[in-house]
Structure 1
Amino acid sequence: MEPVCIENLHILYQSLDFLVVNKHWDIRIDSKMWYEKLTVQSQLKYRFPELADPDTYYGFRFCHQLDFSTSGALCVALNKEAAGRAYKCFKERTVTKAYLALVRGTVTEKCMTITLAVGKNTQEGFTHMMCAEGTVGCDNAKPCQTDLTVLQHGLYKGDPVTKVLLQPLTGRTHQLRVHCSALGYPIVGDFTYSFKKDVEPYRMMLHAYYLRIPVNPELIEVTAPDPFRPEVDPYWVPIDTIHPLCQAMKQMTHKALVSERSRQMHEQESSPKTMETSEETEEQRAVCQQWLTEWAGE
């Protein structure tokens, strides 16, 4: 991917209600800082000035978050009604997200489920970080889960690394980065969670590859091109393949589809009376808003 600039906003999906863009690495989604001129928000305003909504603070309704250093699929709602439908999907956890990453070391297990709770790091000098349960100073750790599938083993600039597919089944802040680091496989180029040791790579190797949001009656399903290929980054040299990416994605999306159909059948079996009276309480909405805020995934 070429260096970031105001003009190079890559569109993955567009409809009357939604946009999905391929966010560049090392760019914020939005910013309140006057000196930060280049954000996804400013790129959108430059490319689609007619779609900016003056009733919103940032001009656009971002349906979820991606870290400054993370690239990949980012969904934007183009009106209030569409944002509400997307909100419902996140609230009911029917959204499926998958990330690609290069991690330091050789992950020996082919697949694993990581269930370490993640909380705020309260140690002096680390308060901008999250941490895994059991870490000294870890406060208010919340349950979370990440499914990891090993795709390839190889080398990055001669050092052993593993290409993995990560599916966050919860959405805690920095979840993927904390989980990988806690297992001893920090993401290549993650300056923060390598404790300022991994400084040479040109970017953090974490990419939001797949996004599926069933915003009835519309289905948003996109992939953002894989940046971790030798023809894109020649420093990455795959040696052996454990799971082909297409095969791993097929298995993951099949599980998501089965889960969605099961949920739909359950809803159909519910009585209309129950459906009508199950209004969202203020407490439930507050919990959901917090969860949406935390849906960084990485």
Structure 2
Amino acid sequence: MSAANGEPGRLVVAVLGIGTMGDAMARNIAKAGLGLQVWNRDSTAAEPLAGVGAVVCDTAAEACRGAGVVLTVLANERVVAEVMDKARDGLERDAVWLQCCTVSPEGSGRLAEQAAGFGVAYVEAPLLGTKEPAVAGTLTVLAAASWEGARERVRPVLEAVGERTIWLEGIGRPSGLKLAYNAWVLTTVEGIAEALTLADALGVDPSKVIDAITGSALDSAYVRSKGPRMISDDLDAPSFPLEAAAKDAGLIVEAARGAGLRLGIAEVVRDRLQSAARNGLGRADVAATYRQSRRAGTA
């Protein structure tokens, strides 16, 4: 196991990608007492992590040197593959690549093949949760490993960033489960947005929709958190950026079609989110689909 700061046996984690999720996860890794080396394409996003003891690196390869676990929290499969190609010269021979970006099952298989070409173990680990659970360290991780021994290596990292890990057998299955989960999440968000829009159009206070749902069989924390944010238009500080949701919606539809399915609701939600992103809402929270619903004549 690699060492950091002259402490033999101390696990060092390289975090590549310091966005909303990467920053929160890196802070919890440092809080757990693990060694931390970070890299981000825009270094200004990574620099504040020096305050929690991280070594801020100029290149992805530099961040990986001496790291026993390399954690990727990047935008999409293409970016992940490109960054890891640039990082390969810094990978330790016994490193484990912990890949957390949401990708298709086939995409995860391609990344696993890339890891095998590097000679490192691969753990597929998409995340359930957004900014708030990432900050709190209460994410749920869906995981599968190319090598059984990798589970123990990444255990301290998973315990630092999440409260539950669901292990599955077979690379690709965690990504499949993540897409199924997100299909429900995105359907729920779009459903809330349209219910509130309809109530308003019919002369009903939209907040009464939330009141009616609260305590019913259809109640959920998501309704009670996203609904009021839609009504108050508090949508510009994203927990889950709409552009990321649109990307995931595209993956859901593509995966379904690859399995011989046509998911009518998922395809409509994908189109709505992609339209919202084109209309300048990509950096807002996914709940900003409510703004799209309220635009008369938009699709």
> Which structure carries more helix by proportion?
2
Which structure features the higher share of strand residues? Answer: 1
Q: TM-score, normalised by structure 1?
A: 0.28
TM-score normalised by structure 2 residue count: 0.28
The one of the two structures with greater contact order (alpha-carbon pairs below 8 A, sep at least 6) is: 1
